[in-house]
Every structure is written in C-alpha cells, then in structure tokens.
Amino acid sequence: MPRATPPVTPVGSSPTFRRVLSRARKAARWLSVTVVLYGETGSGKEVVARYLHAQSGVEGPFLAINCGAFQDTTLEVELFGSDKGAYTDAKRDRAGLVEVANDGTLFLDEVAEMSPAMQVKLLRFLQSREYRRVGGLSNRKARCRILAATHRDLAALVRQGRFREDLYFRLQAFPITIPPLRERPEDIPALSRALLARVKVPRGLPPLELDDQVVGWLCEQEWHGNVRELEHFLERAAVLAGGGRITMAAVREARAMQEGLGPVPNHEPEDEPVYPSPKQAPSVFELILGALADGGPLRESEIIRACGSTRSKLRRPLARLLAQGRLVREQDGGYRLVTPELRMCS
C-alpha cells in the first residue's frame, strides 16, 4: 500500500511560489474540481498536493501513489481493490485506495505513465465517481478527491497519441504549474534551513547551521533535481561537516562526491578563492546596488531596466544579496537597499 503522509507547510516566499500556494488555496474547497500539478521531478508537487489537501478541510486521509511504479493489473487492484478469488493470490476481499481515501484525497503521481487501458478506467471513474473492484460484479461509489501530477507535457503527449484527449481535458480543469527551484532562488535560503532542520543529528553533535557563504553559494546553483537534489546535497554536506556549522570546505567535498571527483585536499591553495564574493565580481552586484542607492524600493523589472541587463542574469545576484542581508524585499515585491539605519530599526 502507498504511504499516508502528514501535512506539511511549503517553504517559499518568492512571487512565483506564492502564486502557486494562492491557487492551491483557491482550489482547495472546490472538492469536485480535478486539479493537476505540473512540475519537474523533485520540484515539490506532492508537498503542494498535501498543502491543498490540508486547506480543503476534509476529514479523510491523504494517500499518494506513483502510477509509474505498477503494471496495469496491479495498479487497478491498488486503486479499485479486488474481490476474493479475483486472481490466484486473492485470498480475501481487498479495498482499493479510492475506498481507503474516503472523504479524503488520493494523489496520483506521474499520472502520464498510465497505460491507455488504465487511462480509460481512470476517466470512467472521474466522470461517474463509480468503480468496480477487480473480480467484482457491482459498482461502488467513492467519496475521495483526486489530485494528479506529472513532470511531462500532457498536451504534447495528446498530440503524439500517447495520452487520451478526453482524460487530458478532465484533468485540466484546474492546472497548477510549480516552478523549478532555479527560477525562484530567493526561496533557497529559507528552504535550505528548513530542510537542514529535518536532518536528525546524532546524539552528542551540535545542531546544524549554514555558513553565510554557503547560503550564497547555494543560491547560485542550478539544482536541476530541484528541492530533492538540494535536500540530498545538504544531508551529504551535514555528514561531512560532522555537525555544527556547514562551511565551504564541507560543500566542496560534498560536490566532489556528487561528481565522482574523489577526495579534495584538506587545505586550499592560498591563491585560490573559496568562492567569489560580490567584491570579486563587481559588475553585476555594483549595478544592482547602484540602482538602489537612492533608497528604492524598485521592482525587479525596474532594476533590470536600470542595469541594462536581463532577468536571467540578475536573478541569482539578487538572491545572493538577499541572502547576505544587503537587500530586503518589501511586501509589494520591491527591493530595498539595507542601510545602517534600517538594520538598527530591525
């Protein structure tokens, strides 16, 4: 049986991620509306699904299943259950997830991996809210909400004839796209600390902390594996640091392990910088700080125009300056330079 997961609070204050959570809250209480979550692998689709479930106010459980992990017959039994004698090993009646998730939520992860035959069965269930156990003779009613998710482009799969168009439109009632982590680097500092807080430190070791330089480094990485990759990287760095403060030395060794580079030297050459700081890369950072020198606040689009640059080139430097505490972000999304007077007030 798939896992039943406790509710969690998604971490992220970037405009794009706030928009995701806002749409999830709006859809939460519309229990008859099917929601499909799009996003790259590891971007947090299940986290958002659990958040939507928690916001819906339903009393039933949240259950999740990866549709790509089962063959057709097994998946049908998992979803709809089976009657005794339906197949060789069916020694007793078995309830499916649509029944176990009564008055709750069933999360179908990687729904695009379903075979055409299973797509037909899912469509029939979504249309009628009725199902039949494998080997059963009568229809049953289910009272669970269906949330679906995929990292694939369903519209493209429809054009290729690999996904049913009628099921696509049924799932597409309320689509929510979760941006990859590289498009919201300003969320990385808070997200990294939240992920690190979940690491169980062995008894006798000090609590884990992130060095400020490490936070800046994390903000500038691509993280193609998204939150999942970041989480595993932090776990590796925590082990290498041996507890306490995670410094760039542990980060370099963790990166070397990830890339299969072998051990790194214990001492860095004196002429090799640990990691470039704004002073070592003055062009972009000074342009941003200069644009905000008059006090601001300025929105991201205004900073882009003032610097004569592009959003992709400024996104990570802005996140780096936020992580260093040299900028703050206002509630309206504008950036403001942190002055000594502002530090005293805070």
Alpha helix (H) residue ranges in the chain: 15-28, 45-56, 72-80, 97-100, 116-128, 154-159, 165-171, 188-197, 212-219, 226-241, 248-258, 282-291, 300-307, 311-323, 340-345
Cα–Cα dist 340/178, whole Å: 37
Cα–Cα dist 212/210, whole Å: 6
Each of the 346 residues of the chain gets a pLDDT tens digit; together they read 444 445 568 999 899 999 999 999 999 999 989 999 999 999 999 999 999 999 999 989 999 999 999 888 889 999 998 887 666 676 688 888 999 999 999 999 999 999 999 999 999 999 999 988 888 778 899 889 999 999 999 999 999 999 999 999 999 999 999 999 999 999 999 999 999 999 999 999 999 999 999 999 999 899 999 999 999 999 999 999 998 999 999 999 999 887 765 555 444 433 333 434 444 444 577 778 878 877 668 888 888 887 877 777 788 888 878 877 788 887 777 888 876 544 444 4
pTM of the predicted model as reported, rounded to 2 decimal places:
0.75
Among 2, 34, 343, 5, which Cα is nearest to 173's? Answer: 34
- Domains of the chain, each with CATH number or no CATH: 15-179 (3.40.50.300), 182-258 (1.10.8.60), 278-345 (1.10.10.10)
